Chain A
Amino acid sequence: MKEILKIENLRKTFNLSIKQRKLEGTTEKRKIAVDGLSLSAYEGEIYGLLGPNGAGKTTTLRVISTLIKADEGDVFVDGFSVKENPDEVRKIIGFLTSELKMEGFFTPNYLFDFFSELHKVPENIKKTRKELLFKKFGIDKFAEVKVADLSTGMKQKVSLAIALVNDPKIIVFDEPTSGLDVITAKVVTDFLVSLKQEGRTIIISTHIFSLVEKVCDRVGIIIDGKMKASDTLKNIMGEKSLEDAFFDIYEASEGKKL
Chain B
Amino acid sequence: MKNILAIFKKELKRFFSDRRMLFMLIMPGIIIFFVYSLIGNFIPQTDPDFTYIVYVENDPVEFSSFHTNELYKTEIHSISESDRETVLAAIKEGEVHLFISYENDIINKIASYDTSSALPAPQIEIYYNSSSMESSNIYAYYSGILNAYESTISNKFDINAGLAQYDLATQEDMTARVLTSMLPYMMMIFLFSGCMAVVTESIAGEKERGTIASLLITPIKRSELAIGKILALSVTSLVSAGSSFIGLLASLPQLLKGMNFTLDIYTPGAYFALLAVLIVTVLIFTVLLSMVSAISKSVKEATSYGVPLMLIVVVLGLSTLMSTGSAKSFWLYLIPLYNSIQCLVGIFSLTFNPIHFVVTIISNLAFVFGGVFVLAKMFNNEKIMFSR
- Let me know if B3 is at the binding interface, CB within 8 A: yes
By DSSP majority rule, is chain B's interface helix, strand, loop, or mixed?
Answer: helix
- Let me know if A99 is at the binding interface, CB within 8 A: yes
| Interface residue ranges of B199-242 to A (CB < 8 Å) | 206, 209-211, 213-221
Residues of A within 8 A of B220 (CB): 118
| Interface residue ranges of A1-60 to B (CB < 8 Å) | 14-15, 17, 20
For B211, B217, B220, B383, the residue with the greatest tally of chain A CB atoms inside 10 Å of its CB is: B217
Q: How far is the CA of A54 from the CA of B152 in the complex (A)?
A: 98
A103 touching B218 in the complex, CB below 8 Å, given contacts A17-B388, A20-B388, A68-B386: no
- Let me know if B10 is at the binding interface, CB within 8 A: yes
CB of B258 to closest CB in A, whole Å: 47
Evaluate contact between B388 and A103: CB separation under 8 angstroms. Answer: no
Residues of B within 8 A of A93 (CB): 217
Evaluate contact between A68 and B382: CB separation under 8 angstroms. Answer: yes
Evaluate contact between B217 and A101: CB separation under 8 angstroms. Answer: no
- Let me know if A191 is at the binding interface, CB within 8 A: no
| Residue among A15, A69, A102, A115 making CB contact with B218, cutoff 8 Å | A115
- Let me know if A95 is at the binding interface, CB within 8 A: yes
A90 touching B217 in the complex, CB below 8 Å, given contacts A101-B211, A114-B6, A117-B6: yes
Interface residues on A, range: 20 to 34
For A90, A91, A118, the residue with the greatest tally of chain B CB atoms inside 10 Å of its CB is: A118
Residues of A within 8 A of B214 (CB): 100-102, 115, 162
One digit per residue, 1 when the CB lies within 8 angstroms of any chain A CB and 0 when it does not, for chain B 97-141 equals 000000000000000000000000000000000000000000000
The total number of A-B Cβ pairs within 8 Å is 67
Evaluate contact between A69 and B213: CB separation under 8 angstroms. Answer: no
CB of B69 to closest CB in A, whole Å: 64
CB of A200 to closest CB in B, whole Å: 17
- Let me know if A132 is at the binding interface, CB within 8 A: no
Evaluate contact between A102 and B211: CB separation under 8 angstroms. Answer: yes
- Let me know if A66 is at the binding interface, CB within 8 A: yes
CB of A54 to closest CB in B, whole Å: 13
| Residue among A67, A104, A110 making CB contact with B216, cutoff 8 Å | A67
Evaluate contact between A119 and B218: CB separation under 8 angstroms. Answer: yes
For A68, A88, A162, the residue with the greatest tally of chain B CB atoms inside 10 Å of its CB is: A68
- The residue on A at minimum CB distance from B213 is A100
- Let me know if B77 is at the binding interface, CB within 8 A: no
CB of B233 to closest CB in A, whole Å: 15
B residues near A (Cβ < 8 Å) are 2-3, 6, 10, 13-14, 18, 206, 209-211, 213-221, 382-383, 386-388
A-B contact pairs, 13 of them (CB 8 A): A17-B388, A67-B216, A68-B382, A87-B219, A90-B219, A93-B217, A100-B213, A100-B214, A100-B217, A103-B14, A103-B209, A118-B215, A118-B220
Query: Apart from A68-B382, A90-B218, A119-B219, what 13 extra A-B contacts exist at CB < 8 Å?
Result: A65-B217, A66-B217, A67-B382, A69-B382, A91-B219, A99-B210, A100-B213, A104-B209, A106-B14, A110-B13, A115-B218, A118-B218, A120-B2
